[in-house]
Amino acid sequence: MKPQSVPAGLAPVIAFVGCDGAGKTTVSDAILAWMRESQPTESCHLGIQSKALGEKLVGLPLVGSLFKRLIASNTSDANNDLDERPAEAPGTVKAMAVLALSLRRWRRYQKMMALRRKGVAVIADRFPQIAVAKMKIDGPGLTDVPYRNALIRWLAGCERLLYCYMVSYRPDVVIRLNVDLATAYKRKPDHRYASLATKIALVPQLEYQGSPIIDLDSTRPLAEVIAEAKRAITACLQQRQSA
């Protein structure tokens, strides 16, 4: 599906991306308050927030223990993020869970698009991408692994269609917040060190169908990061209006 450059009738979307601990929420909240001074603007979180969802599922009666075992298994797999072994095909249940999480992201994306069609600008915390096929970095979770099961191949095809749609409308500008591992872990001590290291290594590879990407060092003083983000967003929005 061909990416849309500046779709007619859609309000702008500013995407904030980066590793956990890079300051996406803090900086995007400041930009949200700033943009609301001049135009209707809302915030949309386009991540899957699997941890919060997992806690809800574990608390369900009868099936909670099943979800707890599945989550524990997935956590064990995630601890091997830095391994160079080829990706293994997920089982049917895990593949269905991955598709469910992608559908969760797609529903959030649809809510964002509804706001844009109403003329409301959007500050997006995270944004779907296909340059890196890892769900925890906002990419698809059923790509680049072998499938012998016809059902899993079908599930992977469904997920691929979701992402093809989501990346077809690219952000007006992407603010990519970069952070070193020590700072990220200090800010997010509840996250796995190895997982943070993997995400930090992958962030420079993220690409959003040609959208302009502004790289900011989020280890700098917060006021400086916010000011630089404001300058970049102002320039991009002015260019959008003149297009």
**pLDDT classification of 92: cutoffs 50, 70, 90:** confident
Which range has the worst mean pLDDT, 71-80, 116-125, 203-212? Answer: 71-80
Q: Sort strands 173-178 and 41-45 into parallel, antiparallel or unpaired.
A: unpaired
Q: What is the pLDDT of residue 237?
A: 92
Q: What is the pLDDT of residue 114?
A: 98
Looking at the structure, give the CATH architecture of the domain made up of residues 13-242: 3-Layer(aba) Sandwich (3.40)
Q: How far is CA 110 from CA 103, 117, 126, 170, in A?
A: 10, 11, 14, 14
Neighbour-count burial of 133, counting CB atoms closer than 10 A to its CB (0-12 exposed, 13-18 middle, 19+ buried): middle
The sign of the torsion formed by the CA atoms of 20, 26, 32, 34 equals negative
Q: What is the pLDDT of residue 90?
A: 74
